[in-house]
Amino acid sequence: MKVKTKIREVEKKIKGLVRASHIFAKTKEQKRKVGKKLFYVTKEIHQELQAILGSGVLLKNKAHQELSRITGIMETLLPQIRHFLVTGFVAPKKIIHLKMSELYAIVRGKAGKSVEFGLKWGISRIGGGFVQGFLINGGAHYSDKRFCLEAIQVH
């Protein structure tokens, strides 16, 4: 089966599921069922993409790079989606954007803003009025005290 026809079939299936979700799924259980169906269709697409990339089908270089990047992100994202469908809770370090996979939700517990999205950055001032920004350990959760120590070491 050609890739384009397979994509059209899956696209039609997904549109039908999303439509059914918006129109017919009123209860939480019905929405969860549709969510699980969408998850399995997405997983099917992911497996199809992996098979295409592994088979050596000639793609334009940029398309191949983008599909490889997305399938790599999906390796992390699909288990996070499954975790949500099974438990009802968002997985830790949940990816929130496919184009910027390093972004994640940071639970702050502040009044009016319990969750922030993005990365934790440390900012330090360098001589001459310049400002330097840095990530600590790839954006891991650290206290402000660690930011201060890192700023002193970097300076």
Take residue 50 and report the two structure tokens written for it. Answer: 């992996």
- Output the pLDDT for position 79: 92
pLDDT in tens, 75-119: 988 999 898 888 888 787 788 777 777 776 666 666 666 666 666
Pairing of strands 113-118, 121-126: unpaired
Q: Do 73 and 104 touch, CB atoms closer than 8 A?
A: no
N residues, the chain: 155
pLDDT in tens, 35-47: 888 888 888 888 8
Spatial separation of the C-alpha atoms in residues 82 and 86, rounded to whole Å: 6
* pLDDT: which is higher, 89 or 143: 89
> Whole-prediction pTM value?
0.61
Take residue 119 and report the two structure tokens written for it. Answer: 């990365």
Instruction: Tell whether the model's pLDDT for residue 13 goes beyond 70.
Output: yes
- Output the pLDDT for position 117: 65
Domain ranges across the chain: 3-87, 104-154
Q: Do 136 and 149 touch, CB atoms closer than 8 A?
A: no
pLDDT (average), residues 43-57: 83
